[in-house]
Amino acid sequence: MAEHNVTGAKGEELAAEFLKKKGYIILETNWRFKNLEADIIASFSSTLVIAEVKTRKSNYFGEPETFVNKQKQKNLINTANEYVLRNNLDLEVRFDIISIILGNDQTKINHIEGAFYATV
């Protein structure tokens, strides 16, 4: 497995554990629909949370969350719509970004709740 894939997988594990500690229930990890993927699908209170995890070893090129561009947001919205339809859910949906920097000395996790919204 390529190093960036290992880094990404480690970040997703850390993000899931982070959310569990905050009281979220992890429903799915790496949920796929066609060529799209949601890193983490969780529930919190009466909200379905679709979380995109971005992990980097440093912020030299910018904070990880800045790499969730408009196309990625559109893909996550489409993925969430399919998940809601397949599971016949009637919940509020929120899109979060979990930004992780795996530094040599410490790990920094930034959870951005409601990072973007599905536009009608």
Q: What is the CATH number of domain 3-116?
A: 3.40.1350.10
How far from each other are the two terminal CA atoms of the chain, in whole angstroms? 39
Delimit the domains of the chain by residue range: 3-116
pLDDT in tens, 96-115: 999 999 987 889 999 999 99
Res 118 pLDDT > 90: no
pLDDT in tens, 66-94: 899 999 999 999 999 999 999 999 999 99
